[in-house]
Chain A
């Protein structure tokens, strides 16, 4: 509690104690009035002051004026009726203040705990200066400097480990609780925590450009991108208060006037009392506070699970997602090619692989890389000579004096050789050695371990249609889609075709169903931007993804897509619950108040009660572990 809140608490307690005391003092008349005014002013003087100030400025409809009018009206009514019962008016003020205090305390608490959840900001960087460690502002560290990260410290700036190896806790970034091992020469991402031993890191970026800064920027701006629900509530709040006040005025004037006209007793007291009850319910606070709080908690909960959502509006769109479009490579598959089979070899498999790896040794194509990786031994370039690349077909070279040709069936045809077609899916590399066909190697991109489960979970989460877009061949694409259970495949697409396809899908979908596109963010940026909601996966270290996407999944796990949707559904569910609940209870109280069934006690209890329940419900959006 801060100082303001402590003072308020003292005032509430003092006032409540005085009220209990006064209960036992049978003071009447002027003395009674004076005595009762002490707790009233103790707890509500600031409200009264603000109300007066509001009147001077012509702002009649702020909640302070309304509370002041309701309570002062009730006191005036008590004096007029000569009942001397001021308890009700004072209790209304007391409970109103308790409600305000609770709200400010709860919001402050959750603000702190949610921002702590996202607290990945490093406070300093260690720079070695003449054998001594010096702590400096990460902003002052130039690119290429060597910084020291001790165990327990946050990695302040992106870089490459120059010495040492350790385990990293990346849970604040990815939500992944398993530590990640890091060794010399590997890239290290800021925001993770060094766990076991000292690392020397050569920085590759400035602090402002580092992952941690970009993420912080994104997270901190998220709650300022307001959702439609928030806009609705702020508009509603603007008309709600004047409408209720107008209702109160009509209630105070109209029925008694009608009574007078029809020749009955006017009954002013009863109708004015009902009008004052209206004023008690006229504050829209429960609504106004609980909706942004729900979104804030939802955003916080999502980021603790490694899902960064760029704004409340995106959380809202995400919850309405019905169609999920995937990019294949890098999203559902690893994006790294691996040798998955060696067939029809006229020589031992590893010998064939050795020829292929050596022939392709000069190429930087992913396929060449995968051959070299499968070969696994260092490549002696001196064994290879007269490398010739035949565009669109493959490579010919001389390995250890043997002419070798590596490439597709077109290359084999050009060389006048027959090739044996392959039945497995993937890219097929045919190899000829010494002018004779020597077999082929199949290279394929492996499906991520969680991809199939991810598609199943999406379906369980109510996604109606899954689509895969890929530049790969139809055969490969169909095979992957079949394995994963994806509904629809569009293959052999060039990057611009992907945008076109995505646009076509957006045009033809039902208007209420939102379309999400999931990509790895490296070459999908235009499509990420075009979809209703762009989800980038594996964003650790990829700046393009953080820029283009609306939702960023910090690790590579496609299961997080369904999780993100479930988090957004829960959050929006809470938002709607709060809207319906708060408006419903208020409407009910207004009806009961107008009919004279609900008195001021009920009104203030309902008002404060709704707010407490709505705030507690909002905080529930933070809990996403078991979703």
Chain B
């Protein structure tokens, strides 16, 4: 199950950090942060609670890069 979310992030290196942080989040199989389109495409693991996972993704992204936003 793949879903795309809008994000707001200022620098390309920070986008890379968000990607790494999101990938490590439980329930996320894979994640691609598209800096140019300001989007995050998250592939969830089967049976994952998407809303809960995304809260964690946002939290982890913020931890890695404070100046970022994920629009869930």
Chain A residues with CB under 8 Å of chain B are 4, 50, 53, 57, 59, 62-63, 100, 103-104, 107, 111, 114-115, 220-221, 223-224, 226, 234, 237-238, 283-285, 288-289, 292-293, 295-296
Contact = CB atoms under 8 A, between A and B. Distances in A.
A104 B11 contact: yes
Given A57-B63, A224-B41, A296 B13 contact: no
B16 A285 contact: no
B13 A284 contact: yes
Interface in B11-25: 11-13, 16-17
Given A226-B32, A293-B12, A296-B36, 6 more contacts: A4-B10, A50-B66, A111-B37, A224-B39, A288-B12, A288-B13
Most A CB contacts (10 A, CB to CB) among B12, B17, B32, B38 go to B12
Main secondary structure of the interface of A (DSSP, over half): helix
A220 B12 contact: no
Nearest to B17: A62
Contacts of A62: 17
Contacts of B39: 220, 224
B16 A237 contact: yes
B56 to A, nearest CB: 17
Nearest to A54: B66
A111 B16 CA distance: 18
Nearest to B36: A296
A223 B34 contact: yes
A221 B4 CA distance: 10
Contacts of A289: 11-13
Nearest to A289: B12
A560 B35 CA distance: 29
Given A224-B41, A234-B16, A292 B11 contact: no
A184 to B, nearest CB: 39
B38 A111 contact: yes
B17 to A, nearest CB: 8
10 contacts: A62-B17, A100-B10, A104-B10, A111-B36, A111-B37, A224-B37, A226-B32, A238-B16, A288-B12, A296-B36
Closest 10 CB pairs of A and B: A296-B36, A224-B34, A289-B12, A288-B12, A288-B13, A223-B36, A224-B32, A234-B16, A223-B34, A104-B10
A292 B10 contact: no
Given A50-B66, A57-B63, A224-B41, A285 B13 contact: yes
Contacts of B66: 50, 53
A545 to B, nearest CB: 23
A275 B50 CA distance: 46
Contacts, number: 54
Contacts of B16: 234, 237-238, 288
Nearest to B33: A224
A54 to B, nearest CB: 9
B32 to A, nearest CB: 5
A63 B35 contact: no
B35 A292 contact: yes
Contact of B36 (A50, A285, A288, A293): A293
B36 A100 contact: no
Contacts of A223: 34, 36-37
Contacts of A293: 12, 36
B36 A103 contact: no
A50 B62 CA distance: 12
Given A224-B32, A234-B16, A288-B16, A103 B11 contact: yes
A348 to B, nearest CB: 64
Contacts of B12: 107, 285, 288-289, 292-293
A53 B39 CA distance: 26
A100 B13 CA distance: 12
Contacts of B10: 4, 100, 104
B4 to A, nearest CB: 8
A53 to B, nearest CB: 7
A618 to B, nearest CB: 11
A62 B13 CA distance: 9
Given A50-B66, A224-B39, A285 B34 contact: no
B65 to A, nearest CB: 8
Contact of B13 (A107, A111, A237, A295): A237
Nearest to B34: A224
Contacts of A220: 37, 39
A582 B53 CA distance: 38
Contacts of A234: 16
Nearest to A223: B36
B69 to A, nearest CB: 12
A603 B34 CA distance: 30
B18 to A, nearest CB: 12
Interface in B24-48: 32, 34-39, 41
Nearest to A224: B34
A172 to B, nearest CB: 18
A355 B38 CA distance: 65
A220 B41 CA distance: 12
A63 B41 CA distance: 26
Most B CB contacts (10 A, CB to CB) among A53, A111, A288, A295 go to A288
Nearest to B64: A59
A59 B17 CA distance: 11
B2 to A, nearest CB: 10
A292 B13 CA distance: 11
Nearest to A295: B36
A292 B36 contact: yes
Nearest to A220: B37
Contacts of B17: 62
A334 to B, nearest CB: 38
